[in-house]
Structure 1
Amino acid sequence: MPNTDLPKAGKSKQAKPKTDMPNGMQQPDMQKVDALVGRLVGDLGASVSGVLVVLGDHLGLFRAMMDGRPRSSMELAETTGLTERNVREWLAAMAASDYITWHEASNKFAMTPEQALVFANEESPAFFGGAFEIVQSMWMDEPKVEEAFRTGRGLGWHEHSTCLFRGTERFFRPGYNSHLVTEWIPALKGMKEKLESGAEVADVGCGHGASTILMAQAFPKSHFHGFDYHGPSIERAKRAAKEAGVADRVTFSKASAKDFPAGDYDLVAMFDCLHDMGDPVGAGRHIRETMKKDGTWMIVEPFAHDGLKDNLNPVGRVYYGASTMICTPASMAQEVGLGLGAQAGEMKLRKVALDAGYHHFRRASETPFNMIFEVRN
């Protein structure tokens, strides 16, 4: 831990201690250094805790505590079939992070309903397990991103560790569960009615198919076609559709945003993926060719303001970090390599749509984490 304490002044006059600084640089304000170090201690603790969240998620520790009943480390170890000494240390670390609760009198640990909602209930709108898997991939793939910085060649989505694909689906699915059917689709002019009566829908960049399957479950008269260039994700999506009982109305195919087959679609949706594309304008032009004349392109993108100043906040911090490690290198690995980034903002997204030949661009809805745009001819 850096020691920034200044020596106390004695009776004799002493020169104020100085750190070795390059010529021309001001001496640091040590009180500000102390404050920064204090924040870094918190950030370091959060980084370490994130690893332990992934560990607890994978081992089923959070799920085993979901009922809220206080347990000793031995009881939890017996429930999960794990080694007590390791479980005991994990419990202490999670309690230090206030991710679980320690009851001093009984020396037992439990989860509050709020903690269970965030760490144990995968269907909850506040579930965070997937988010930490995405961060796990960033640490694992840092050497690849470092090389992308040096060469400028980018790093394709498919070149990342598998935990990124799994984490992305688990991170975004709770938000889609909460908003897609009840808020976002009704916000698109006439779209809810079309889907209820029977429509053709393309979900481009569908990943593991969470958004596609959710729409299929909500609108049984419509047909849905999921496309993604990442083959393993398409295979996972196919299995998920069978498990959800919608495989008769959902197809998943390997294709990119610029070559997926035309289908006279009423709706083409892109969920949190347009900014990852090397040529989003080209993708938009292709979408125009695949839709009906009165079709709608729904773009769901990470929430962002247009100016950097307004994005320097906790949400922007997360998105800029993910964009540095994942989104921007992915775009730069493709043709054109526009590199919109996860904090593109409405003005840049509007320009993409207009450059692709559309005449109607409207922000239809938003959440603290997403912006939803309606784009039409």
Structure 2
Amino acid sequence: MDADRDTAAAVADRVLQAVLGTVDLLSIFAGDRLGWYRSLAHDGPATAAQLAERTATHPRYAREWLEQQAVTGLLTVHREGSAEGRMFALPPAVAEVLTDEHSLNYLAPFARLFGATGPALPRLFEAYRTGGGVSWDELGDNAREGQAEGNRPWYQHRLADALAGVPEVDAVLRTSGVRILDIGCGAGWSSIALAESYPGTQVQGVDIDAPSVRTARRNAEAAGVADRCEFTVTDAAQLPEGGFDIAFAFECVHDMPRPVEVLAAVRRALRPGAPLVVMDEAVAQEFTPHGDDLERLMYGFSLFVCLPDGMSSPPSAGTGTVMRQQTLQEYAFAAGFTSVEVLPIEDFGFWRFYRLDCGGAGPAPVAGRAHSPR
């Protein structure tokens, strides 16, 4: 009986820590969306009244958020005094994690992404009952932007070195005039990184999500690579045949309702012998209870975002975020690829890279759906 009580107490403590983590996540979401963190980072310490004036928010809510952030340890009290005179500051390390969109430590977008699931919970629960789904489009801009901004630093800072470490891929990309296909390009950060890293390339990004494609075009213009990055709202069935020298699918295969059909269409779009590089989650080879933090995180993404998105367009393979290597191999072979190789790219965030190869032009394109809000 005492052992049972001890076990129950441990479970209760774990749930309480999860509640506290949820409060932190939602308060981070608020600080991110309302501009409170960025004001403290860019304009310096502030009282509640000053922060509210800077950000066009209400001082009483600003005060409550500032105090909560100090109690939870994310802000420091720069000057003691009355509630109205108390001044709060954002430490540099916290500012990097929550405001620096170029840092590999930037995690505020994930609060944005999970925060976006709140309004969708009734629809998610209905989907769990009926087998339906909730698409990225239904989750809205917070989810779309959160995913894109969370991945952006990795493409900007690490993708070039990662690909340079795979000689056979790097050699293709360094060929003048090479045509790259970026399937499920989302907000275009992967396409832009490829264009910046390999100046002789032409990148074609395709996605089914029109808002993401519009964002990708703006991002390419701002980055100065719009002349070499073209983005289109395109179904996989509309890919041109045999025109690409290499293709990439960054963190999107697990979202596809019909991955075999999309992979077959990509295969057809590649010239004979050209590879497809897939980046997807570096989950364990097989399911086991008591998984590590990565498995826990990926099941969270799957339950609330990726699996419902994939299920929103029936008939669906229902893959989900936790796409294990064997599952990708099955999809690839069914699509006509003849080999799947794990590439020697390590220490790249949450992800693993694969190379898919085939010996011929492959089957004709079949209507598919490819999207990743990257």
Q: TM-score range by the shorter chain?
A: 0.7 to 0.9
- 1:125 deviates by 0.7
**How far, CA to CA, are the matches of 1:169 and 1:65 in structure 2?**
24
- 1:75 deviates by 4.1
Q: Is the 8 A contact 1:269 1:299 kept in 2?
A: yes
Q: For residue 93 of structure 2, what is the aligned residue in structure 1?
A: 114
**How far, CA to CA, are the matches of 1:104 and 1:90 in structure 2?**
17
- CA 30–68 in structure 1, closer or farther in 2 if over 3 Å, else same: farther
**How far, CA to CA, are the matches of 2:3 and 2:118 in structure 1?**
31
Among 184, 199, 205, the alignment partner of 1:226 is 205
Among 223, 232, 251, the alignment partner of 1:272 is 251
Q: For residue 70 of structure 2, what is the aligned residue in structure 1?
A: 95
- CA 261–97 in structure 1, closer or farther in 2 if over 3 Å, else same: farther
1:88-133, Cα deviation, whole Å (9 max, x unpaired) = 2111111222222335757542222221110011111111121111
Alignment of 1:97-176 (within 5 A): 97-103=72-78, 107-176=86-155
- CA 100–258 in structure 1, closer or farther in 2 if over 3 Å, else same: farther
Among 37, 51, 54, the alignment partner of 1:62 is 37
3-state SS of 2:160 partner: helix
- 1:342 deviates by 0.9
Among 291, 295, 299, the alignment partner of 1:312 is 291
**How far, CA to CA, are the matches of 1:70 and 1:137 in structure 2?**
29
Q: Is the 8 A contact 1:306 1:344 kept in 2?
A: no
1:76 aligns with 2:43: no
If asked which structure has higher relative contact order (CA below 8 Å, sep 6+), I would say: 2
1:251-271, Cα deviation, whole Å (9 max, x unpaired) = 111112343333521111111
- CA 288–295 in structure 1, closer or farther in 2 if over 3 Å, else same: same
1:51 aligns with 2:30: no
1:186 aligns with 2:167: no
Larger Rg, first or second structure (1 or 2): 1
3-state SS of 1:227 partner: strand
Percent identical across equivalent pairs?
Answer: 27
1:371 aligns with 2:346: no
Higher mean C-alpha displacement, 130-139 vs 351-360: 351-360
1:250-308, Cα deviation, whole Å (9 max, x unpaired) = 11111123433335211111111101111211211111111122311010101201222
Q: For residue 5 of structure 1, what is the aligned residue in structure 2?
A: none
- 1:239 deviates by 1.8
Q: For residue 267 of structure 2, what is the aligned residue in structure 1?
A: 288
**How far, CA to CA, are the matches of 1:326 and 1:81 in structure 2?**
31
**How far, CA to CA, are the matches of 2:79 and 2:224 in structure 1?**
47
Higher mean C-alpha displacement, 322-331 vs 119-128: 322-331
Question: Partner letter of residue 340 of structure 1?
Answer: T
- 1:28 deviates by 9.1
- TM-score, with normalisation over the residues of structure 1? 0.86
Q: Is the 8 A contact 1:95 1:102 kept in 2?
A: yes
1:301-351, Cα deviation, whole Å (9 max, x unpaired) = 012012222772222222101111221222223344112221122121122
- 1:224 deviates by 0.6
**How far, CA to CA, are the matches of 2:313 and 2:122 in structure 1?**
20
Q: Is the 8 A contact 2:66 2:88 kept in 1?
A: yes
**How far, CA to CA, are the matches of 1:147 and 1:78 in structure 2?**
41
Higher mean C-alpha displacement, 167-176 vs 103-112: 103-112
Q: Is the 8 A contact 1:52 1:90 kept in 2?
A: yes
3-state SS of 2:307 partner: helix
3-state SS of 2:236 partner: coil
Q: Is the 8 A contact 1:205 1:256 kept in 2?
A: no
3-state SS of 1:288 partner: helix
Unaligned runs of 5+ in 1: 1-15, 17-26
Question: Partner letter of residue 192 of structure 1?
Answer: D
Unaligned runs of 5+ in 2: 359-374
Q: For residue 7 of structure 1, what is the aligned residue in structure 2?
A: none
**How far, CA to CA, are the matches of 2:139 and 2:31 in structure 1?**
23
- 1:156 deviates by 3.1
- TM-score, with normalisation over the residues of structure 2? 0.86
**How far, CA to CA, are the matches of 1:268 and 1:192 in structure 2?**
13
Q: Is the 8 A contact 2:172 2:246 kept in 1?
A: no
1:39 aligns with 2:14: yes
- CA 356–214 in structure 1, closer or farther in 2 if over 3 Å, else same: same
Question: Partner letter of residue 172 of structure 2?
Answer: K
- 1:179 deviates by 2.0
Alignment of 1:234-273 (within 5 A): 234-262=213-241, 264-273=243-252
Q: For residue 210 of structure 1, what is the aligned residue in structure 2?
A: 189
Q: For residue 174 of structure 2, what is the aligned residue in structure 1?
A: 196
